[in-house]
Chains A and B, each alone.
Chain A
């Protein structure tokens, strides 16, 4: 299934890529410059990097390590800082960004997420287990398998269900942290707090959830939120800043309840 290359050559772009290369977590890294010719506008950004890697491999140079899995914008595995924007210039994930968003001759700087809570493991790959630990601290509803009541025993007003869904679409990519000048994960936490807090099932643990998740957030070394809003602008799932307000509100309520 290889394309007739004539068609591609016509639209092939030349790009200069400045890519962060770092052999492993303990070494220091720096930006390397690569030239790439013949980039088709139909390629996704990651396919463009695949092509670069094929060239590097052929030359005997270590290919650039970057994360991706689903490549359809839902798993949250991919994530690069592209010319200073998390996931690049469109409101989508890195894997769903296509090269038609760039032009011939562009210089593209590609860096990993920069957050000390997300240490770089190699090149553009970072370790986001801090997010898992935040979920562990309370991002769930405690219900053992088999103990659930009949699904229709609890009604959920459509508004609440819709809002819960809207914010439950967070893919845990970490772009919010990457974009936040304070390195805060408030948008990520706010999305989970709001998702579970909107539903009747989520009420029992509401107070402890917000307190525990924020506690873990701070312990992981994420920064505090000063409501700058870069996070929501970078979020590929358009999680709104409202969730941070909700987070604060829930925290206030929890404190009033003496948590």
Chain B
């Protein structure tokens, strides 16, 4: 679980970096998308790196989801009679929403893939084979931005707990200091990733990128 989670985090950091190329303009962004596919040629075939990433991500997703499902089932069986009153003392909103938040992310990713990768849906009816254009067109629509922002909130929450949790699971938090560092890292990663991704749709919406 921790390993797959960290893979996700790594992917998101790269992905975010790529997205931010939007600010460098149309060509730089498309160049990047292209570069992703030609990277390593001729050792790798066209799209090779991308496929390596994809396979890794899919494997991680399978591992991640299956362990999430198993943990959920075990937790359900571990307490079949619920408390009439139960207070939360130490848990955070993010730690309590891992399961629903994860599910929401899952649904989002499917939609996102249809949107940008598999389907290449351009809701404005514009060009679909120009990634830059696709992005700019999509985020010109307020409701599209809203969907993405909602997803990013989910990402932020999931990573806020997920990052700390992964470090704890890996046994890297053996002292109170290490523990607070890991919690801080959770916050930083969550804000960085959610915030970094949010820049693109917001900038498009407010016309900073056109």
Contact = CB atoms under 8 A, between A and B. Distances in A.
A116 B77 contact: yes
B169 interface: yes
Given A111-B83, A246-B174, A179 B89 contact: yes
B89 A245 contact: no
Nearest to B98: A226
A246 B171 contact: yes
A191 B90 CA distance: 19
A227 interface: yes
Given A223-B74, A227-B164, A229-B90, A248 B79 contact: no
B90 A233 contact: yes
B114 interface: no
A83 interface: yes
A17 interface: no
B78 A31 contact: no
B179 A245 contact: yes
A221 B75 contact: no
Contacts of A248: 168-171
Given A85-B89, A245-B179, A224 B168 contact: no
A115 B74 CA distance: 12
A241 B168 contact: yes
Given A84-B86, A116-B80, A229-B91, A182 B71 contact: yes
A115 B83 CA distance: 10
A245 B169 CA distance: 6
B75 A233 contact: no
Interface string A123-155: 000000000000000000000000000000000
A116 B176 contact: no
B96 interface: yes
Interface residues of B, number: 36
B171 A117 contact: no
Interface string A1-45: 000000000000000001010000000000100000000000000
A245 B2 CA distance: 13
A115 B78 contact: yes
Interface string A97-121: 0000000000001010011110000
A242 interface: yes
A226 B165 contact: yes
Contact of B171 (A179, A221, A226, A249): A249
A43 B173 CA distance: 40
A224 B170 contact: no
Interface in B93-129: 95-96, 98
A244 B85 CA distance: 26
B87 A245 contact: no
B128 to A, nearest CB: 40
B165 A183 contact: no
Contacts of B171: 245-252
B91 A241 contact: no
A197 to B, nearest CB: 11
Contacts of A250: 171
A247 B88 CA distance: 24
Contacts of A244: 168
A242 B71 contact: no
A239 interface: no
B62 interface: no
Nearest to A194: B174
Interface in A200-240: 218, 221-224, 226-230, 232-234, 240
B8 to A, nearest CB: 16
Contacts of B178: 242, 245
25 contacts: A18-B84, A20-B84, A31-B84, A81-B83, A84-B85, A84-B86, A85-B89, A114-B81, A115-B79, A116-B77, A116-B79, A181-B75, A181-B96, A221-B77, A223-B75, A226-B95, A227-B161, A234-B89, A242-B174, A245-B171, A246-B171, A246-B174, A247-B171, A248-B168, A250-B171
Given A181-B75, A242-B173, A242-B178, 6 more contacts: A223-B79, A227-B164, A241-B168, A247-B171, A248-B168, A252-B171
Interface of A: 18, 20, 31, 81, 83-85, 109, 111, 114-117, 179, 181-184, 218, 221-224, 226-230, 232-234, 240-242, 244-252
